[in-house]
Amino acid sequence: MNYDFRKIEEKWQKFWADNQTFKAENHSDKPKYYVLDMFPYPSGAGLHVGHPLGYIASDIYARYKRHKGFNVLHPMGYDSFGLPAEQYAIQTGQHPADTTKVNIEGGVDKEGNKIEGYRKQLDRMGFSFDWSREVRTSDPKYYKWTQWVFIQLFNSWYNKDTDKAEAIGSLISKFETEGNAAVNAVCDDETSIFTQQDWKNYSDTEKQQVLLKYRLTYLADTEVNWCPALGTVLANDEIVNGVSERGGHPVIRKKMTQWSMRITAYAQRLLDGLNKVDWPQPLKDSQTNWIGRSEGAEVTFPILAFPEGEGTTPGYMTGGNNSHLLLEKAKKLRNNPAQAEAALWESLKGKNLGDKFRRQHLIDDFIVDFVCLSKKLIVEVDGDIHDTQKAEDEARTKALNERGFEVVRFRNNQVLGDIDAVLQEIKEILVKKSIPPSGARGISVFTTRPDTIFGVSFMTLAPEHDLVAKITTPDQKAEVEAYVEATAKRSERDRMADVKTITGAFTGAYAEHPFTKEPIPIWIGDYVLAGYGTGAVMSVPCGDQRDYDFAKHFNIPIPNIFEGVDISEEAFSDKATTVIANSDFLNGLNYKEATTKAIVELEKLGQGEGKINYRLRDAVFSRQRYWGEPFPVYYVEGMPQMIDEKYLPIKLPEVEKYLPTETGEPPLGNATVWAWDVEKNEVVSNDLIDHKTVFPLELNTMPGWAGSSQYFNRYMDPHNEDAIYSPEAINYWQDVDLYIGGSEHATGHLLYSRFWQKFLFDRGVAPKDEFAKKLINQGMITGTSALAYLIREDNKEHFVSRNWYNKLVSDLSDPSKEKMVPPDTADFEDILKRLTDGTTEVSTWMPIHVDVSLVNASDELDIQAFKNWRPEFKDAIFTLDNGEIYKGINPTSGKPGGEFIVSREVEKMSKSKYNVVSPDAICEEYGADSLRLYEMFLGPLEQSKPWNTAGITGAHSFLKKLWKLYFEESGIKVTDEAPSAESLKTLHKTIKKVEEDIENFSFNTSVSTFMICVNELTAQKCTSRSVLEPLAILVSPYAPHIAEELWAQLGHSESIATAPFPKFEQKYLVESSKEYPISFNGKMRFKLELPLDLSKEEIEAEVMAHEKTQAQLQGRTPKKVIVVPGKIVNVVG
RNA sequence: GCUCGAGUGGUGGAAUUGGUAGACACGUUGGACUUAAAAUCCAAUGGACAUUAGUCCGUAUGGGUUCAAGUCCCAUCUCGAGUACCA
């Protein structure tokens, strides 16, 4: 009986499908295990051998876990919205839904090409997917729930006090009862303060506008990355090196009204969560990097003169003459608070009222009970004793008032009696004292080095900064405007490309230094980015290289504020060795001390506070595309309204053309039936829009990552029509235990998914705030391109076989070498002549990619097939490896006169390089089991490695050898004979190693282990059932088809899929002796078999007595003999 | 520039807490079986000298620790990935 893999694989694939072998139930006595692959985008090109690598690994693990007694969920689906289908639609007019269906299910495309379809390709590889749970993101039944999550986000806000998302209703009730002053929420920067009375007076539209500033998904005018070529905006992670990730088109900045996701609310939790998950460190690093947390301070620099007289220098106070005695007293008071003080502190601390309070704080010579430095409000709580010291208190209040503080006094019994009334009063004062946005008062900057504040010699604003136009003096106006205009014209890419050129302009305005009160010139420069921090920096040229370069270029002074550092060449930015000098109260302090001190002093002035800044931006969620999820949104008086959940899904409308409209609207602008009737609750014709009961629908669609941000949970209950998934389902499956996919999703899908998961966790929909416990990035399988070297001259084309090409190139680059004279071919000599006399350059060799299917395992090109494939080369000359010219196939021998050898190069697999190998062809020739084994055998899962089809024969012949262990010509040869001790040792050694390897995801080494095992059992002529049966189970996760067949042939009627994994038993591995390597000075010289129960001394004696030892020593006496029992012997001397 | 990761035969890659470097496979060479090819099987295969035993050199480079280093430490070089005026 021969190993007929085609028959076997077809048979078992059918069996698994018919019997739903891998269907997972949502309840089981077994423990659960969830193995997930990143679902693919079904492209028309189909799968190549690189794609299934991760699927094979996850499938091995899933099958292994089934053998280990787990209830395994292993689903698959399609991320089927996306740009390629849409662009194909634009070109051909075919509906993307149709092409997507063909790409998944197979069929014929418009050009008549047969498409195999992803499903069929996947099925051929024998994956144990539970297809009953398949999802497609473009299926309305699925995207109903994507729209649903969007609505939940819209109806939520982020409460910083509870540090989680809450229903928008709780925010509205806060507004109704207390306004927004004390609301500690993540919201838009320019949100202004209002009272509950203001809120009540707002119109409906105004209320909606306010709420949009708080919702977790919101509509706002944002600077977006606009890609004119694609006609859409792109998220930051969709831009690579300043051009679009897809297609490489230029991207410009543009202000547009767009949906955004308030992912920044989760910045800190997204960072913290990384500590809880077992994900690859490089991936965690890139998320950490992307979130970009930096600690520092926000500092406000008052603007000295507004040319238009808009503001004046606000009053502030001097640093003060703090005495240590007072500080100590304040500390003592803090530790012994009166009852009322303690009660009030509970309510004031931790920004409970929205502003930071300090207690028992020193203001000049006064210790005040509570102070809010940023609002300059002092709260005093007086005991009865104050009745007797009214005069002193008044004087004290007056003194504090002179220092710019407002003082409010309460009595102990007021605080203890009705603390809510007291808090309300404080809150109202805070609201009144609310400071308008920073721009009106001065320039806000973010800095990570507040310790260097005395080194500020100028300030720089981004050219796009709002203040630029306001502060520029008439003298400087022309220059500044020209500069702003010039920067706006430069694309993002240009700006990135030349970071070396220093440009900028002086505004003519000055700001005042918070401490020295010196005027500081305000410049603008494009090295300051509008999008990060506040879009303005305090420039410390001695401590920052960019500021340094800018200062040098424009001749701005560079004061040195570092102790013992030479800054004549470059800036000094080493925090670790920093000692501050020339900085008043910071002198002599190190980085950490000076930073803390500077922040405290800035807070006293009300001109700054400690702040944490994130690089992470809110994610733009609108795309001007057709083939994406439509928003469940219509507009009333310009304000977005959510469609009630019960009318979902809002299905994509039909359109004539998939391009943007002539008026520049997104493709959905072409739809004629795209309006919402609030009475009928259905989508109706645009003609009916009356803005009374029928309103226009949103024209944007959602981005690609919308559909992939919750799919892993939807698999748990994919057909649920009443909920995204039932609580029972998600409480059973909880989260993904193992997630395998590419590292390219590090800052896209994997970040957004974590964000949505945390949001759904906050809202009680998901039980875990991280969706995947363990994640593995499989490496890329690269292609091995075949190259034929061509020299093209005067319409003559000449290909040269590898050997000759290499010799020619190396001979020519080495003048000392005698020039190779090729065999007697006039043409070849001609080439050599022209190469050597310089008429032709070596570099004019052109590598031509040859389709890898035209090349055999020994790199020999089928010249005739090549000529048929590329008819433009049918008259080209081919010099073969033996130096002869190819004259066609010899009719008598049927062979060419010699071989033409191609060169090989490892490159990414791509159609244009003709190095794509499809898994179908491999399955056809060698079988799916061979493919699975070989892909695992190639190398470590995480590593990228080149594909070389030739190597698959190793895996294939292993399977044939495996088969031969069970079968001979006449049939099965497995017996019930007792196995030899040797065979049991081989088996158990294999069980141990394979189990360890699978647990460590070291699949390549376990394939080697199988090969060793089969080689050994073959040599042992083992036919024993008690060895061969467990072996079939061991192999089954890797090569499931052959394992099923062997299992069946061994007489089992059930599938092998849930057969218990063989148990390793140490007793079969126990050895009585060991072949010791005997080394001399660390070099192994010979081996010596010795019993394992010998003592160190006995081993040493045996070794020293050995004749080879004496030969090695040649009469010398060893200095030392190291004996490690069971390991090694080393003789020193 | 910064942050990670990696450098081992002709190739893909093995090598536990430092303990026999090159497992396993591809390729190559020779042989067997075949009219022939494929398939299969056997043998050799890091380099150099000797080819009988053997000796020397070898894990990017240079140092170091150790009885013993691919593995640990220091410095350097090269490649890959991510990120980039992030204040």
CA of A195 to C1' of B50 (A): 98
Residue nearest to nucleotide B3 (CA to C1'): A285
> What pLDDT shows up at residue A310?
38
pLDDT at A660 over 70: yes
Tokens of A669: 């602008």
Q: How far apart are CA A1118 and CA A331, in angstroms?
A: 72
CA of A1083 to C1' of B63 (A): 22
For residue range A216-229, what is the model confidence (pLDDT) as tens digits?
Answer: 999 988 777 778 77
Mean pLDDT computed over A56-68: 97
Residues 6+ apart with CB under 8 A from A1099: A1076, A1090, A1123, A1125, A1129
Q: How far apart are CA A253 and CA A246, in angstroms?
A: 18
Contact, A26 vs A1055, CB < 8 A? Answer: no
Residue nearest to nucleotide B81 (CA to C1'): A282
Is pLDDT larger for residue A243 or for residue A348?
A: A348
Residues 6+ apart with CB under 8 A from A840: A791, A793, A831, A834
Cα of A1129 vs its chain's centroid, Å: 50
CA of A107 to C1' of B44 (A): 52
Contact, A1052 vs A1103, CB < 8 A? Answer: no
Q: What is the ipTM of this complex?
A: 0.94
pLDDT at A436 over 50: no
In which band, very low, low, confident or very high, does the pLDDT at A324 lie, cut at 50, 70 and 90?
Answer: low
Tokens of A1061: 């994994």
Of the candidates A647, A634, A624, A643, the residue with the CA atom closest to the CA atom of residue A696: A634
For residue range A475-493, what is the model confidence (pLDDT) as tens digits?
Answer: 889 999 999 888 877 665 5
Of the candidates A980, A981, A976, A936, the residue with the CA atom closest to the CA atom of residue A958: A936
Of the candidates A83, A74, A90, A88, the residue with the CA atom closest to the CA atom of residue A41: A83
pLDDT at A894 over 60: no
Is pLDDT larger for residue A146 or for residue A490?
A: A146
Residue A748's nearest nucleotide, by CA–C1', is B82
Residue nearest to nucleotide B26 (CA to C1'): A951
For residue range A773-787, what is the model confidence (pLDDT) as tens digits?
Answer: 999 999 988 888 888
In which band, very low, low, confident or very high, does the pLDDT at A318 lie, cut at 50, 70 and 90?
Answer: very low
In which band, very low, low, confident or very high, does the pLDDT at A319 lie, cut at 50, 70 and 90?
Answer: very low
Mean pLDDT computed over A733-740: 96
> What pLDDT shows up at residue A320?
33
**Eight-class DSSP state of A564:** T
> What pLDDT shows up at residue A493?
58
Is pLDDT larger for residue A215 or for residue A1102?
A: A215
CA of A805 to C1' of B38 (A): 31
Q: How far apart are CA A1055 and CA A925, in angstroms?
A: 26
Residue nearest to nucleotide B55 (CA to C1'): A1085
What are the Cα distances from residue A412, in Å, to A131, A159, A378, A985? 70, 32, 16, 84
CA of A1121 to C1' of B56 (A): 24
Of the candidates A1131, A1086, A1084, the residue with the CA atom closest to the CA atom of residue A1104: A1131
Residue nearest to nucleotide B15 (CA to C1'): A1005
Tokens of A570: 């470059």
Element spanning A987, H or E: helix A981-999
CA of A788 to C1' of B38 (A): 27
pLDDT at A307 over 50: no
In which band, very low, low, confident or very high, does the pLDDT at A824 lie, cut at 50, 70 and 90?
Answer: very low
- Burial (0-12, 13-18, 19+ Cβ within 10 Å), A311: middle
Of the candidates A151, A186, A246, A158, the residue with the CA atom closest to the CA atom of residue A698: A151
Of the candidates A532, A590, A529, the residue with the CA atom closest to the CA atom of residue A563: A590
Q: How far apart are CA A403 and CA A575, in angstroms?
A: 35
Q: How far apart are CA A856 and CA A987, in angstroms?
A: 37
* Segment among A85-89, A133-137, A407-411, A487-491 with least mean pLDDT: A487-491
Mean pLDDT computed over A852-878: 83
CA of A1083 to C1' of B72 (A): 20
Residue A1131's nearest nucleotide, by CA–C1', is B67
* Segment among A6-15, A388-397, A459-468, A811-820 with least mean pLDDT: A811-820
CA of A776 to C1' of B81 (A): 16
- Tallying the residues shown for chain A, one arrives at 1133
Contact, A525 vs A503, CB < 8 A? Answer: yes
> Each residue of A691-727: b (16+ CB within 10 Å) or e?
eeebbbbbbbbbbbbbbbbbbbbbbbbbeeeeebbee
Contact, A1054 vs A1039, CB < 8 A? Answer: no
> What pLDDT shows up at residue A44?
87
Tokens of A121: 């390709």
What are the Cα distances from residue A1000, in Å, to A73, A773, A1003, A1006? 20, 15, 8, 10
pLDDT at A72 over 50: yes
CA of A1000 to C1' of B6 (A): 20
Contact, A614 vs A264, CB < 8 A? Answer: yes
Tokens of A704: 């690609």
pLDDT at A80 over 90: yes
- Residue A361 pairs with which residues in a beta bridge? A368
> What pLDDT shows up at residue A432?
63
What are the Cα distances from residue A862, in Å, to A12, A796, A899, A910? 37, 21, 9, 21
What are the Cα distances from residue A1129, in Å, to A39, A383, A1073, A1094, A1103? 54, 85, 14, 13, 8
**Eight-class DSSP state of A1039:** S
For residue range A1048-1061, what is the model confidence (pLDDT) as tens digits?
Answer: 999 999 999 999 99
> What pLDDT shows up at residue A163?
94
Of the candidates A781, A1043, A1061, the residue with the CA atom closest to the CA atom of residue A937: A781
pLDDT at A321 over 50: no
In which band, very low, low, confident or very high, does the pLDDT at A426 lie, cut at 50, 70 and 90?
Answer: confident
pLDDT at A1000 over 70: yes
Please provide the average confidence, as pLDDT, over all residues in chain A: 86
Cis peptide before A282 (omega within 30 of 0): no
What are the Cα distances from residue A886, in Å, to A392, A789, A829, A835, A845? 112, 15, 15, 21, 19
- Residue A510 pairs with which residues in a beta bridge? A521
Residue A1000's nearest nucleotide, by CA–C1', is B16
Residue A1011's nearest nucleotide, by CA–C1', is B24
* Segment among A95-99, A138-142, A209-213, A414-418 with least mean pLDDT: A414-418
Is pLDDT larger for residue A1111 or for residue A734?
A: A734
Contact, A689 vs A695, CB < 8 A? Answer: yes
Q: Which nucleotides of B are covered by protein (CB under 7 A)?
A: 3-5, 11-15, 17, 19-21, 23-28, 39-41, 54-56, 67-69, 80-87
Residue A934's nearest nucleotide, by CA–C1', is B25
Q: How far apart are CA A833 and CA A844, in angstroms?
A: 15
Residues 6+ apart with CB under 8 A from A959: A3, A5, A927, A929, A930, A933, A1039, A1042
Residue A856's nearest nucleotide, by CA–C1', is B27
Residues 6+ apart with CB under 8 A from A956: A926, A927, A930, A934
Q: How far apart are CA A153 and CA A612, in angstroms?
A: 25
In which band, very low, low, confident or very high, does the pLDDT at A895 lie, cut at 50, 70 and 90?
Answer: low
> What pLDDT shows up at residue A229?
79
> What pLDDT shows up at residue A17?
96
> What pLDDT shows up at residue A1015?
93
Residues 6+ apart with CB under 8 A from A964: A3, A1018
Share of chain A above pLDDT 70, in %: 90
Residue nearest to nucleotide B80 (CA to C1'): A944
For residue range A542-580, what is the model confidence (pLDDT) as tens digits?
Answer: 989 889 999 999 999 999 999 888 888 888 888 878 889
Element spanning A293, H or E: strand A293-302
- Helix, strand, coil in percent for chain A, rounding step 5: 40, 20, 40
* Segment among A122-136, A466-480, A782-796 with least mean pLDDT: A782-796
Mean pLDDT computed over A509-530: 90
Residue nearest to nucleotide B66 (CA to C1'): A1082
Secondary structure (DSSP) of A34-59: EEEEPPPP--TT---TTTHHHHHHHH
Q: How far apart are CA A1088 and CA A744, in angstroms?
A: 52
Q: How far apart are CA A155 and CA A216, in angstroms?
A: 8
pLDDT at A896 over 50: yes
Q: How far apart are CA A995 and CA A794, in angstroms?
A: 64
pLDDT at A910 over 90: no
Candidate ranges A410-414, A615-619, A1009-1013; pick with highest mean pLDDT: A1009-1013
> What pLDDT shows up at residue A932?
96
Give Dmax (Cα) for chain A.
127
Q: How far apart are CA A259 and CA A220, in angstroms?
A: 7
Q: How far apart are CA A225 and CA A232, in angstroms?
A: 8
**Eight-class DSSP state of A166:** E
In which band, very low, low, confident or very high, does the pLDDT at A502 lie, cut at 50, 70 and 90?
Answer: confident
Q: How far apart are CA A82 and CA A137, in angstroms?
A: 10
Residue A282's nearest nucleotide, by CA–C1', is B4
Is pLDDT larger for residue A210 or for residue A1?
A: A210
For residue range A345-360, what is the model confidence (pLDDT) as tens digits?
Answer: 888 877 777 777 888 8
pLDDT at A828 over 70: no
> What pLDDT shows up at residue A811?
60
Which phi and psi (to 5°) does residue A349 adopt?
-70, 165
What are the Cα distances from residue A232, in Å, to A544, A769, A1107? 37, 32, 83
> What pLDDT shows up at residue A348?
83
Mean pLDDT computed over A315-330: 45
In which band, very low, low, confident or very high, does the pLDDT at A397 lie, cut at 50, 70 and 90?
Answer: confident
Strand, coil or helix: A257: strand
CA of A1117 to C1' of B47 (A): 33
In which band, very low, low, confident or very high, does the pLDDT at A939 lie, cut at 50, 70 and 90?
Answer: very high
Global confidence as pTM: 0.85
pLDDT at A726 over 80: yes
Is pLDDT larger for residue A901 or for residue A1049?
A: A1049
CA of A282 to C1' of B5 (A): 8
What are the Cα distances from residue A513, in Å, to A403, A518, A550? 19, 5, 19
pLDDT at A841 over 70: no
CA of A220 to C1' of B86 (A): 23
